[in-house]
Every structure is written in C-alpha cells, then in structure tokens.
C-alpha cells in the first residue's frame, strides 16, 4: 500500500481496504506543545455521504482537518486519501478554510479568488482562457454570486464571502470536500444556499466532510456524524450518533468548555 506510516507500530490491519474510503485517519495524534489537540483518532469517511465533525470548542475539529490535509504535521498516525498517500491525491481534495482565517481586505476581486481554484490546472504561467473564465463564472452562479464577480472581496458580507470560498472549492472539481465551519457567521439564506450545493455534490457522488457547530441542524443537514473531543467519541449515521447520551459524553456538560483556554485551544 502506498502510504508512509509515521508511527512505528503498524496500526492498520492488513485486511482492511482503505481504498474504499475517500479519507481515512488511523491513530492520528496532533499536539501543540504539551497537551494533545487530538489523540489517536481513527476515522473512516464514507464515500458519497455528508459527514459532520461535531464537538465542543477546543475539541480539535479544525486540527483534524488540517492534519488530514498535511497543513499540520501529526505526531503519529497516518492519513490515506482514496487509499493512497495525500501527496498523490491533492487534486481530488478541495479545502475550504475558516472564513476568518484570511484577510478579506486583500486587493483582489471575487472572480480572481474563484480562479485560484484552477491553480493546479493553470500552473505557474498557464494563460487564463475564456473557458477557464466561464467555468469560474458557472461556479459563482451555483452559489448565487454571479452578479458580484468584479467586486473587491472586502465589500462582501460574511455570507457572501463564504459563498465565494465555496465557489473556489467547486472550481477545483474535487471528489472530496473538506469544509471548516462553513456556516459560521453566515445569514440564513446563505446557509440554505450552501447546504443545497453540498447536497447536490453528494448526490453526484462526491464526499463531504464539514466541521459543524450547530447541534440543532446536524440531523437535517448531514448523513453521518463524527463526535470528537480530543479523542474520537463515536461515528455513524446521524440518527444513531446524535443522541443525548453520546452528546453528553462528547460535551461533558459545559465544564470542558469552561476549563479550556481559548488562546491555546483555538481550533
């Protein structure tokens, strides 16, 4: 198998076929200093399904995505994407970071951000042709932002910015979409628009994994859920996972949240 295990002990049973999973994590541990942000997490994300990653602040939800993408180097454990090492599969993944992670005052237009999604195709100096431009516009149309193509990105509302990020991911035409808090700070109309696009992607056979924080909408929006609080608590279909008992085990009342130092555990 074309993976590079980071840990010495082989944690994957030889019989398990990781190739069926768009994303599989085995024994993934990430630490920012003394305390682990996520500890020995196993997770297999099911193809053609929408999975929510749920857990309290500081549970390591964003860290899990970043480690899966290689943005953060894990202490141990490994990641496979469609059964292969991440580096060989980058073109099949689209990542939507938290909206607040970038400076929206950056001098660029909406259409230019969407065209960034074509970087792997265009390369360093590939010319942006009519067809590229049309594809970027089509992605903007799918998220209802076609009338904002030439706006500077700083002039958009939070919801509009999130839609532009989603349009950029659509331009990547990936098989696996990883989204970090796609509904954070967006208006109701945007939330509906985003979920409709994600469900379309799923119905077309793509796999969606999103960090989500609104327990009220998990069952409505997602097919499956991964409950996380540093360790993996549970994973499965939403109706079996989003239960009072398991949520209590994940959130542990509000005590866990109160003890967390937000500066240290920003996820």
What CA–CA distance (Å, rounded) separates 4 from 63? 20
- For residues 197 and 166, the answer to whether their CB atoms sit within 8 Å is yes
How far is residue 256 CA from its own chain's centroid? 24
102 lines the binding site for other proteins (CB under 8 A): yes
Q: What six digits make up the tokens of 116?
A: 């960034």
What does the per-residue mask of binding to other proteins show for 110-129, with x meaning CB under 8 A? --xx--x--xx-xxxx----
108 lines the binding site for other proteins (CB under 8 A): yes
Q: What residue has token string 């141990």?
A: 76
100 lines the binding site for other proteins (CB under 8 A): no
Q: How far is CA 171 from CA 8, 71, 95, 139, 174, in A?
A: 38, 21, 11, 6, 8
Cβ-based nearer residue to other proteins, 147 or 239: 147
109 lines the binding site for other proteins (CB under 8 A): yes
Cβ-based nearer residue to other proteins, 1 or 100: 100
261 lines the binding site for other proteins (CB under 8 A): no
Instruction: Considering only the stretches 50-58, 109-117, 193-201, 208-216, report the one whose residues sit in contact with other proteins under the rule CB under 8 A.
Output: 109-117
Q: What six digits make up the tokens of 92?
A: 């099949």
51 lines the binding site for other proteins (CB under 8 A): no
Residues near other proteins (CB under 8 A), total? 34
Per CB under 8 A, the list member of 106, 192, 248, 262 interacting with other proteins is 106
Q: Which of residues 127-166 bind other proteins (CB under 8 A)?
A: 152, 154-155
What CA–CA distance (Å, rounded) separates 141 from 127? 23
Closest by Cα among 16, 18, 39 to 28:
39
Residue 89 beta carbon to other proteins: minimum distance, rounded to whole angstroms: 10
Cβ-based nearer residue to other proteins, 1 or 87: 87
Cβ-based nearer residue to other proteins, 39 or 95: 95
What CA–CA distance (Å, rounded) separates 127 from 124? 9
Q: Where on the phi/psi map is residue 191: left (φ > 0), alpha (ψ -120 to 50), or beta?
A: alpha
184 lines the binding site for other proteins (CB under 8 A): no
Residue 119 beta carbon to other proteins: minimum distance, rounded to whole angstroms: 5
188 lines the binding site for other proteins (CB under 8 A): no
94 lines the binding site for other proteins (CB under 8 A): yes
Instruction: Considering only the stretches 9-17, 76-84, 86-94, 198-206, report the one whose residues sit in contact with other proteins under the rule CB under 8 A.
Output: 86-94
243 lines the binding site for other proteins (CB under 8 A): no
Residues that bind other proteins (CB under 8 A): 66, 69-71, 87, 90, 93-98, 101-103, 105-109, 112-113, 116, 119-120, 122-125, 152, 154-155, 168, 172
């Amino acid at each position: 198998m074309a993976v590079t295990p980071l840990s010495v002990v082989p944690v994957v049973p030889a019989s398990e076929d990781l190739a069926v999973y768009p994303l599989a994590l085995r024994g993934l541990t990430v630490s920012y200093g003394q305390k682990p942000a996520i500890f020995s997490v196993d997770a297999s994300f099911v193809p053609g399904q929408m999975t929510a990653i749920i857990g309290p602040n500081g549970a390591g939800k964003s860290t899990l995505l970043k480690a899966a993408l290689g943005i953060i180097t894990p202490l141990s454990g490994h990641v496979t994407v469609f059964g292969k090492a991440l580096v060989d599969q980058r073109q099949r993944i689209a990542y939507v970071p938290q909206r607040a992670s970038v400076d929206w005052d950056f001098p660029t237009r909406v259409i230019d951000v969407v065209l960034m999604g074509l970087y792997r195709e265009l390369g360093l100096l590939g010319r942006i042709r009519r067809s590229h431009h049309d594809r970027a516009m089509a992605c903007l149309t799918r998220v209802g932002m076609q009338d904002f193509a030439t706006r500077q990105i700083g002039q958009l509302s939070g919801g509009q910015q999130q839609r532009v990020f989603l349009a950029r991911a659509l331009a990547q035409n990936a098989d696996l979409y990883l989204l970090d808090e796609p509904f954070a700070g967006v208006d109701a109309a945007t939330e509906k628009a985003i979920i409709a696009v994600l469900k379309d992607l799923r119905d077309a056979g793509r796999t969606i994994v999103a960090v989500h924080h609104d327990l009220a909408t998990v069952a409505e929006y997602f097919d499956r859920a991964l409950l996380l609080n540093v360790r993996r608590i549970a994973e499965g279909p939403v109706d079996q996972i989003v239960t009072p008992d398991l949520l209590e085990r994940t959130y542990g009342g509000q005590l866990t949240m109160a003890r967390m130092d937000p500066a240290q555990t920003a996820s």
